[in-house]
Amino acid sequence: MPRGAFSAVGVAAALSVALTACSSSGGAPASDPGATAQGGGSLVVGVTSDPDTLFPWKATQFTAVNVLQNLYGTLTEFDKDLNVVPGLAESWETGKDGKKLTLKLRQGVTFADGSAFDSEDVKASLDKIMDEKTAAVARASLSSVKSVKAPDKNTVVLELSGPDAALPANLATVNMAMLSSDDTEEKLTTTPNGTGPFTLGKRVPSQSLTLTRNDKYWGAEKAKAGSVEFRVIPDESSIVSAMQSGNVQLAVFNDPLVAQTAEGGGTISVAKTPQLNYHVLQLNAQRGELKDVNVRLAMQCAIDRKQVLDTAALGEGEVTGPMTAPAFKSDPNKRPCPTRDLAKAADYLAKAGKSGGVTVKTIVSQGEYATSVNEAQNLKAQLAEAKINLDLEVLESGAFVDRWVAADFDAAVALNGGRPDPDGSYGRYFTSDGNLNKVAGYSSPALDKLFAEGKATDDQAARKAIYDKVAAELEDNAAWIWLFAGYTYTATTQNVQGFVPMASGSLQYLRTTSVG
């Protein structure tokens, strides 16, 4: 694609996150880049799917996460380079033995309904996230927290079972949003009540959702745009047409071909950002033929990942192992079959007693990201040559997420969100008590031990070595088949200023974006 508008986020410097996470922090909030006087305008963002939930503790769909992170606040935040900076907690300090994290909260913060935010809301939120009955998707990220105390309105103390280097970074995700202690999930699914830079305006299901500027937002600068509408347009090419006609001003594309088309007209700028997100063929080792590690290894050896990348994403990206964050990046050559090897695949099937072949039922999302079906079809064609039949079931985004969360699949072609810290990315999936372990379909005592070790130290080199071992355990057992990490392409019309793309895929900088 044309490279003139290339704007890659500086990810390489970002992964000091886990290391700075255990110390007190007092920098500027993540809402400051480029912020000057309050602006205006109404911004329309084109999206391909409607949010499947408005309850932040259960949001996994990308559109839902992107909407909710603009409505809710978190104790910590990521800045544009993915460093952990203050959010609703203006500072934090770790005890000398690493078993206590004390957070000082901002004063004068209010929820959208006007009620005051204080330590009781934090305690109630964290206690509920940790309660298994809540089914919060980030519960495992609080596994080190023994208790939450609120000694005064502006202080929260987390008593920990041991040092947790990943905790401040994990607190920055919208799945850890702070809710009012008076609110319920039932209420918030229709009426969000957060501390974010926007509040919910109007929603027309399957058509649009509009956010309005929160003039009581705690940040030094209020959101620039008076409103942000997320307009549902089923495919990325149609979003380009809407931008060319002036009906949409901003969109984030996954398909490089669409990005080329958008930029080719000359009226739309496209910024290309490498992503922590990863494309993966998830395997459920608890179901059917996939219970046998030899079947999973046969699938791993039968796939040319570069071919998937070239076919589905025009080669825009890189083949990846489990860890995508630069400071912890896995070496994809250190897997049982770093290149496609059909002979080895046949050997593994023979060891499984399945020389005649196997069938694996596989779910695919249509609508949430553009390359999914092409990836699935290429995987199906490649695996067929190894006598492995991917029986594809293409689902709309909401149905896919429902099946995915319920672990109702043998395999799933997925685009999963990456995080700056490996524990945040995978602790909830691949530990035996992880709350998404059912979705992951694989755990082991070795992984439990490694993840515990990874959180217990803030030494960068030591953590890198530990997560290399995590990656090896996952690859050697073909827990999943990691494919590639790609780019997002942020398209803006000429009258849009101030948006900052992020390697995490976050749209948090809609708060600094104006139209005019």
Looking at residues 200-215, what average pLDDT do you find?
A: 96
| Residue tagged 């399945």 (tokens) | 354
- pLDDT, one tens digit per residue, over 456-495 is 999 999 999 999 999 999 999 999 999 999 999 999 999 9
pLDDT at 226 over 90: yes
- The pLDDT of residue 71: 98
Q: Which residues contact 51 (CB under 8 A, 6 or more apart)?
A: 59, 61, 63, 64, 67, 68, 209, 230
Which structure tokens are listed for 136? 């919060």
pLDDT at 436 over 80: yes
Contact call for residues 176 and 75 (beta carbons, < 8 A): yes
- The pLDDT of residue 40: 72
Radius of gyration of the chain measured on its C-alpha atoms? 22
Percent of the chain with pLDDT over 70: 92
- How does residue 8 score in pLDDT terms, banded at 50, 70 and 90? very low
Looking at residues 49-65, what average pLDDT do you find?
A: 95
- pLDDT, one tens digit per residue, over 152-196 is 999 999 999 999 999 999 999 999 999 999 999 999 999 999 999
Which structure tokens are listed for 269? 């700028």
- The pLDDT of residue 19: 32
- Closest Cα partner for 156 from 116, 196, 127? 127
- The pLDDT of residue 265: 79
- The pLDDT of residue 39: 52
How far is the C-alpha of 371 from the C-alpha of 275, rounded, in Å? 15
With b for 16 or more beta-carbon neighbours within 10 A and e for fewer, the 50-66 pattern comes to bbbbbbbbbbbbbbbbb
Return phi, psi of residue 480, to 5°.
-130, 175
How far is the C-alpha of 28 from the C-alpha of 30, rounded, in Å? 7
- Closest Cα partner for 63 from 506, 363, 509? 506
Contact call for residues 111 and 193 (beta carbons, < 8 A): yes
- How does residue 220 score in pLDDT terms, banded at 50, 70 and 90? confident
Which structure tokens are listed for 163? 């040092």
Return phi, psi of residue 375, to 5°.
-60, -50
Q: Which residues contact 4 (CB under 8 A, 6 or more apart)?
A: 263
For residues 248, 57, 32 and 226, what is the CA-based torsion angle, rounded to 10 degrees?
Answer: 40
- pLDDT, one tens digit per residue, over 12-56 is 333 333 333 333 333 333 333 333 334 579 999 999 999 999 999
Mind spelling out the 3-state secondary structure of 318-334?
EECCCCCCHHHCCCCCC
- How does residue 273 score in pLDDT terms, banded at 50, 70 and 90? very high
- The pLDDT of residue 26: 35
- The pLDDT of residue 266: 83
- pLDDT, one tens digit per residue, over 380-406 is 999 999 999 999 999 998 899 999 999
Average pLDDT along the chain: 91
Which structure tokens are listed for 425? 């990315």
